[in-house]
Amino acid sequence: MALSRNEDQRVSLHTVERLSVYRRKLEELSHEGVEFVHSHQLATMVGVTPAQLRRDLASFGSYGNIARGYEVAKMITTISRILGTDKLQNVGLVGVGDLGRALLSYRGFEERGFHIAAAFDIDPAKVGRLFAGRRCYHLDELEPVIAQSNLRIMVLASRPEGLQDIIDRAAAAGVRAFLNFVPRTTVTPPGCFIERIDISAKLEKLSFLVKQQEQCT
């Protein structure tokens, strides 16, 4: 399985999301001792058509063996390289409340290539303490810690107040991407990306689907 010379070509975000799903399933197969998987098998497991899966992977020059299928370990390495997660990346976290502490305790991030290296808060009772082995810094220390820890991604789990200022300061200090759990509309600084995670909206969607199903029965 070779990498295409066009590996870094522009791809749609939908393709990127599917690649992440493929890698997650491939990692599960690897843990189960599976060495090869055919495209139609993998497609069924992740809920896409075989044609879509082959199209996504072939665009990067990732071709399977006709007899044995895709080599699971090499596919994981290839997709990780495409996503930029083949090396552990330091990530920052703003807000050490209930959600923030849960995120700090979650070890799945490191399995996917992300290490929360520093946390920030303004609560004097939290500043200077260790949470799941990570030091909590005062928000006033945001810029020097970003530089020191080489943070390019920041997780936002703070109160809504002052969120835009935090984003602007972090962006000016070198952060280029934000995962935002805070229910507050924000402006994305030039050259940056913000991915919003709205858990309530997901629950509303599920509520709607359940209601629709009940009305049809």
Q: Do domains 13-83 and 89-199 have the same CATH topology?
A: no
Q: What pairing do the DSSP bridges indicate for beta strands 193-196 and 177-180?
A: parallel
**How far does Cα 195 stand from its chain's mean position?**
9
Written as tens digits, the pLDDT of the chain (217 aa) is 333 334 445 667 888 899 999 999 999 999 999 999 999 999 999 999 999 998 888 777 656 666 788 899 999 998 998 888 888 999 999 999 999 999 999 988 988 899 999 999 999 999 999 999 999 999 999 999 999 999 999 999 999 999 999 999 999 999 999 999 998 999 999 999 999 999 899 999 999 999 998 888 7
CB 123 within 8 A of CB 96: yes
Report the C-alpha gap between 100 and 105 in whole angstroms. 9
May I ask the CATH class of domain 13-83?
mainly alpha
> How high is the pLDDT of residue 169?
98
Name residue 124's amino acid. P
pTM of the model: 0.81
> How high is the pLDDT of residue 64?
66
Candidates 136, 144, 153, 195; CA nearest to 173 is 144
Query: Tokens standing for 175?
Result: 């952060």
Q: What is the CA radius of gyration of the chain?
A: 20
Report the C-alpha gap between 13 and 94 in whole angstroms. 26
Helix, strand or coil, per DSSP, at residue 58: helix
Domain 89-199 of CATH type 3.40.50.720: yes
Domain ranges of the chain: 13-83, 89-199
Report the C-alpha gap between 80 and 72 in whole angstroms. 12
Query: Tokens standing for 86?
Result: 């083949």
